[in-house]
Every structure is written in structure tokens, then in C-alpha cells.
Amino acid sequence: MNHSIILSITTFVYAFASVLYIGSWTFKKEVMAKTGFFILVTGFIGNTIGIILRWIESYKIGYGHAPFSNMYESLVFFSWTVAALYIFVEIKYRERIIGVFATPLVFLAIAYASLSPSISDKITPLIPALKSNWLIAHVITCFLGYAGFAVAFGFSIMYLIKPIELNTESRTLENKGGKNQINSLFAKLPPLDVMDELTHQMVMFGFLFLTIGIITGAVWANSAWGTYWSWDPKETWSLITWFIYAILLHLRMMRGWHGKRIAWVSIVGFMAVLFTYFGVNLLPGLHSYA
């Protein structure tokens, strides 16, 4: 067994889990969400083993390094962090259905890693600048941050698609004989205040870790190049992302913004996350790291 087989299987397991969550929502079968959760945990275990195996294999080849150094590895790790965070949230808040928008993200990230022709899954040696423990701390914290924002994004989408007037009636509506198929579908979603609260929790989690991620990146840059901040496009975009979420936090804490408006800011923030992650490579630059 090598890591790439395990990770391929994991991709399918995650796909299956997403299908179950979505199915549970559309067909209103609680049992599907329950099964989905176990499948998701299975996938998560596979994901973990895959990462560890890749780590071990890199040592066997003689390039030994932690598997957080290129696009493929970071996407696999991104799936892992989103899955971990989501599993934690489901256990803690006992809301099953909230996986509808979070689990597909887990699947999409790892599927993109395996299927995109521009992403190589070869284990490559580390160039000298990447040989630092700060790199490991930096990648792990950044991705925990991204995971928080991704899950917050999932909740924000749920918030926005749920019609407000259904909120008070909440989940009891479907028992009234499902007057309206679509409405009852959305009514299955958790109450708005729960999703609002969860979005906020996830944003705070993401913000803390993005902050630590930017900081460890700065400390690393200072130990490798003697400059903790050089306005590199990637750095700048992570700062822009940080600003957006800082704005969100202030709007909520000081101006009392809630619900829809916060959901929109959270979506804008996640677009910035995606751009920091994928888009920066498209930008022109005179210099770039690594």
C-alpha cells in the first residue's frame, strides 16, 4: 500500500460521504446523514494515513520532509483540516445537516489535487529555503485558518438560501404535510440563529489561525531572508484576507451586524482566501518565493 492508492480511495470515500449528506437533506432521511458522518470519519482516517505514509515514503526516497511543501500536498492537507474541523463541529453542536455544504468542499479539494493535470503528486526534494520548522508551523496554521473560513463559508451559504419566514417554524414545518416541497427542503436547515452563531465561531477560529499563520510566515521569512515582510503578492493577499475578516469582526462586535450581512462578508472573505491560495500564481511579479 502506498500513499497515493490510499488517497485515491479517500477521494471516493469523501465523495460518497458528500452524496449521503446531500441525499439526507433532499430526501429528508436522517439515517443517511448518520451514515454520511461515519463514512466521512472513515475518509478522514484514510486521509490521515495517506498523509503519514507520504511522509514516511519521502524519507525512504531520501528527500525526507513533512508533506506540506507543494500544491498537491497542501490540497490534501486542506481536505484533512476541513474534514477535521467539520467533524469537530458536528460532534460539538449535534447538527447533522450542516454537512451539506462543508463535506463537498472536503471532497472537491482532494479531488482537484488528484485530478488536475497541472498538479503533480510526485514527492520532490525541498529547496534550502523551505527547510525550516517554521514552514511546518506556517502551513498547518494557515490551513487551519483556511478550513475555518471554508466551513464558515458553507454555513453562510446555508444561511442565505434559507427563507427567513421559515425560521420561526423551523423544523416543525415538514411535519405539516409539506405544503411546499422546496420550502420544506430549506426548512430542514438548522435555525438561522444557530447558523449565524456557527458562522461567527468558525470565522473567529479561522481568524486566529490565519493570524498565527501570517505571523509564523513572517518569522520564517525573517530567518531565511532577513525580512519579515516584503509585500510579496502572496503575503499581501493573505493580509487583504485578514483585513476583510477583521472588518467582519468589527462590524459584528461593534456595529451589531448579524445574519445576512455577515454571511455576505464571510463569502467575500472566502473569495479572498481562494484567491490567496490559487489566484496569486496568476499575478505578475518581479520576485516570488520558493
Q: How far is CA 110 from CA 6, 41, 139, 274, 280, in A?
A: 12, 15, 17, 15, 20
Asked if residue 126 binds ligand HEM (CB under 6 A), the reply is: no
Residue 145 phi/psi, 5-degree rounding, is: -60, -50
CB atoms within 10 A of CB 196: 19
Closer residue to another protein (CB): 38 or 243: 243
Asked if residue 254 binds ligand HEM (CB under 6 A), the reply is: yes
Assigned C-alpha cell, 254: 461593534
Closer residue to another protein (CB): 162 or 252: 252
Assigned C-alpha cell, 93: 453542536
Number of residues in contact with another protein under rule CB under 8 A: 47
Residue 21 phi/psi, 5-degree rounding, is: -65, -45
Asked if residue 124 binds another protein (CB under 8 A), the reply is: yes
Asked if residue 218 binds another protein (CB under 8 A), the reply is: yes
Considering only residues 211 to 250 of the shown chain, the ones binding ligand HEM according to CB under 6 A are: 246, 249-250
Question: Which range touches another protein (CB under 8 A), out of 24-32, 43-51, 171-179, 241-249?
Answer: 241-249
Cβ-based burial of 217 (10 A; exposed 0-12, middle 13-18, buried ≥19): buried
- Lookup result for grid cell 447533522: 96
Residue numbers at the binding site for ligand HEM (CB under 6 A): 246, 249-250, 253-254
Residue numbers at the binding site for another protein (CB under 8 A): 63, 124-125, 127-129, 131-132, 134, 197, 204-205, 207-208, 211-212, 215, 218-220, 222-229, 231, 233, 236-237, 239-240, 243-244, 246-247, 250-251, 254-255, 280, 283-286
